Every structure is written in C-alpha cells, then in structure tokens.
Amino acid sequence: MATESKSLETTKAAQTYISELSRHVGKEVVLKGWLYNLRSSGKIVFPQLRDGTGIVQGVALKNTVTPEVWEALQGLGQESSLIIRGTVRADERAPGGFEVDVVDAQVLQQVHDYPITPKEHGTEFLMDQRHLWLRSRRSHAVLKVRHTIVQAVRNFFDNDGFTLADAPILTPAACEGTTTLFEVDYFEGEKAYLTQSGQLYNEATAAAFGKAYCFGPTFRAEKSKTRRHLTEFWMVEPEMAYASLEDVMSLAERMLSNVAARVLADRAEELKVLERETSKLESIRIPFPRLHYDDAVKMLQEGHAAGALESRFEWGGDFGAPDESYISNRFNKPLMVHHYPASVKAFYMARDPERAELALGVDVLAPEGYGEVIGGGERATSLEFLKEQLALHKLPQEAFEWYLDLRRYGSVPHAGFGMGIERCTAWMCGIEHIRETIPFPRMLYRIRP
C-alpha cells in the first residue's frame, strides 16, 4: 500500500549525508533517505531519517512548518522514502549528537505496511525478508565490518607484494574431495563444477608472480546445517613461491592481526551497535600460539581424563567441533595447530621430511568457539609423489596434467592458505550465525531471496 508523490522538485537539491552532519552545524542541509521511525506528540513530530550512512532525528513543530509539510509527516509509516530540508543543530538529547530542525519535507512514497517492526523477530522471518532486513542497524553494522575486513585483507596483500590473480569459478575437476561439488551441465561432452577452492590455480599464478592471491566465491555442496556453514561463501587465498609452512604461519598471523586492527580503528561505531567486546579483538596480536598436532592430541586426552570431553581422542583423527572448541578455548588468541596427520589432509600437502605420516599443514582456530578460520600449508613439490597421491585419492590424472606441469617445469617449495571471509566476519563481530555476515546467504534449504 503506497501513494506516489506528485512533485519531486526537491530531489534535485544537493544531498548531504548523515555521516557528514558534524561539518554542517548551524547550516541548512538536504537529507535524502527513508523513515526509520516516527514519534509524534500533538503539535510536534520526530521523524528519524536513515540514509545508509547513519540515522538522524528531525524535529518539526506545527507552527514552524507549512500546513502541507505538517500534513505530509502525519502518520508516515516506517521506510517511507522522503527528503528533508532543515538546519543542523548539535543536541545532547540526540543519540548521534545532532538533530535537524525541519523546514521542508517531501515524501516520495508513503509506506504503511513495512513488515519489519521495531520489535523482536525470529531469524526465519528475518531471513525471508533479507532484502529488507539489510536496512536494519544490526545488518548494516555487520556488513560494514565485512566490508572493512575485505578491504583490509586486500590492502594487506597488495602492500605485501602480492598480485591479485583470480581463479576460475567454473572448473573441470575437484580440488579436493568430489562429494561436495555443484555440477554444471553446459560444456559439451564434459561435466563442469563450481569451484570449491582456487588453491590449484593459485599454485600456477604463484609460479608466475612469486606471490599471488585470489578472492572470490566458493561453493560447497555439503549437507551441513550449522551456524558455521554456507553453501556459497567468499574466500581469500594467498600463495607464495619459495615459501615454507613457517612462512605461511607468519603470513597468517600478520594478516589477521592487521585485519583486527583495521576493524577496531574503522568500525568502532558498528562494534558498539553489535555490543562486541573490543578487548577480544585487541588481543588478536602477533605472535599467535602454535601447537603441534601431537601436543593438541595430548591436550585433548588430558581433557578427557579430567572429564571435560566425552570421548577420548585418538592420534590420527581430525578434530571435531567439540575438540576444536576445547583446544582453542584454552587460549585467548587465535591458535595455530600444525603438522596434522597426512591422512586427514588434501592430496597436495607436503610431508614432514622427518616424519612422512605428517602433513606440513596448519589450521588457525579462532577463539570463543568460532573454529577454523584459516586452513593452509606447504605444498608437495615432487611430480612422482603427486602422481601417487592422485591415484591413492582415486582422482583422474588427466584432469590434473596441467597442475602436474607445475612440478615438471621449475618446481619449487611453495605454500599458502585460504581464509573464509564470513567466518572471519562472524568472529570479529562476535555474532552467532555466519549467515548474517553475507548480504544474501545461500544455505542448505535457503536460496531466497
């Protein structure tokens, strides 16, 4: 239910954004946005305007505005689009510190039935209304933090000598397992899949640029229904030629501490909206604790003996969610667990020369139960070893010939990692659900809106 406004004359006026109001105190400005909330008290109304950069309260008195303006503001519903002309005034009573004394107002569209009210709502309902929920303070704050994380990550790599060289999204074969691929039926005589990692292509670009990274969407057809999973998520993957496991761990901790510092500096307001304890982010500083898989297993077995864990963890397995939480909760910083058994890691992982059963891999486990945010390691360099591994993992060698070429022509030690942007965002924001960290989440049982 909506009524169109007839005259849009004032839309031509130069717009001031709410975030810039401090520079316009005492001056007249034109604000263009949407009604966040309206309160009225007889002969005074308080329209709260939202414009994407902030929220500000306007004040209109019946005897200081024209009858037309007064009438236009009466009974205006949430998210009505409108333009306000008024004078900026510093006011301690206002949440943002400023108010606007309304001189003129132009309603572009009156709205009366906006579905998201200022009261509580369930997640299912809000997710169905995601296209509108994005306008809320909370979504706005989370996505602003995401934006800053992406920006910080890219700046970090750009300033560290990395070249952005994106990996393809349509691929002919799996990078890791074949069970979690989305199949695309388009290329003649051949099946294609949506990428589940840019990893293998990064190894090619690292050999071309020395240090390269890709940043893009990733698809996993996992039947996972947890707060840590999306079927479509964004991943940043750096890869370095002439680099070791040690180099990758150092890169990961430098990047994460850099990102945390950026979020603290640029998104203080948003962290406040999200009621995030900033001390948790302040502790994300170099160096991060490092734990050998053997020692992690010992820690888990002691945990079981002390009654903190239900089942006794045996050497050789991969950690389950409760195991991860138990270990990472013993540290107040991100924890780097390295030297996993090769059997639980991907085929391209390099082996520990001293102990062939160990892979030179590392997982970075975020504190507070956020789990694995980074996975990476050193890659195998030997052509023969990789051929064996492909066979062992029952992967078709023809599909990987181009990859094997990287070992035929100038094979060097190299290493890299992948970080899930959404998991990182959920952690920095301190929110329960990863699905709030992406504008339009795709999950098992959710492809709309």
- Minimum distance of RNA from residue 364's CB (angstroms): 7
- Minimum distance of RNA from residue 185's CB (angstroms): 21
Among the listed residues 31, 34, 57, 339, the single contact to RNA using CB under 7 A: 57
x/- binding map, residues 407-446, to RNA, per CB under 7 A? -----------xxx-xx---------xx--------x-xx
Strands 183-184 and 290-292: unpaired
Neighbouring CB atoms inside 10 A of 340's CB total: 24
- Minimum distance of RNA from residue 25's CB (angstroms): 15
Task: List Cα–Cα distances, 72 to 62, 66, 301, in angstroms.
Answer: 12, 10, 69
Residues in 176-195 at the binding interface with RNA, rule: CB under 7 A: 176-177, 180
Among the listed residues 20, 22, 75, 277, the single contact to RNA using CB under 7 A: 75
Nearest in space to 114 (alpha carbons), one of 94, 95, 135, 144: 135
Residue 303 as a binder of RNA (CB under 7 A): the answer is no
Instruction: Please tell me whether residue 82 adopts helix, strand or coil conformation.
Output: strand
Residue 87 as a binder of RNA (CB under 7 A): the answer is no
x/- binding map, residues 245-284, to RNA, per CB under 7 A? ----------------------------------------
Decide: 237 and 198 in contact? Cβ < 8 Å: yes
Instruction: Please tell me whether residue 326 adopts helix, strand or coil conformation.
Output: helix
- Minimum distance of RNA from residue 348's CB (angstroms): 11
Residues in 98-137 at the binding interface with RNA, rule: CB under 7 A: 99, 112-115, 117-125, 127
Amino acid at residue number 265: A
Neighbouring CB atoms inside 10 A of 239's CB total: 32
Amino acid at residue number 409: Y
Site size for RNA, by CB under 7 A? 73
- Minimum distance of RNA from residue 433's CB (angstroms): 5
Residue 347 phi/psi, 5-degree rounding, is -65, -25
* Token duo for residue 83: 């333009």
- Minimum distance of RNA from residue 120's CB (angstroms): 5
Residue 372 as a binder of RNA (CB under 7 A): the answer is yes
Residue closer to RNA by CB (options 15, 147) is 147
Neighbouring CB atoms inside 10 A of 376's CB total: 26
Place of tokens 């195991």: 323
Residue 41 as a binder of RNA (CB under 7 A): the answer is yes
Residue 289 as a binder of RNA (CB under 7 A): the answer is no
Residue 61 as a binder of RNA (CB under 7 A): the answer is yes
Residues in 309-348 at the binding interface with RNA, rule: CB under 7 A: 318, 320-322, 324, 344
H/E run at residue 425: helix 421-429
- Minimum distance of RNA from residue 212's CB (angstroms): 18
Angle at alpha carbon of residue 320, lines to 180 and 432, rounded to 5°:
85
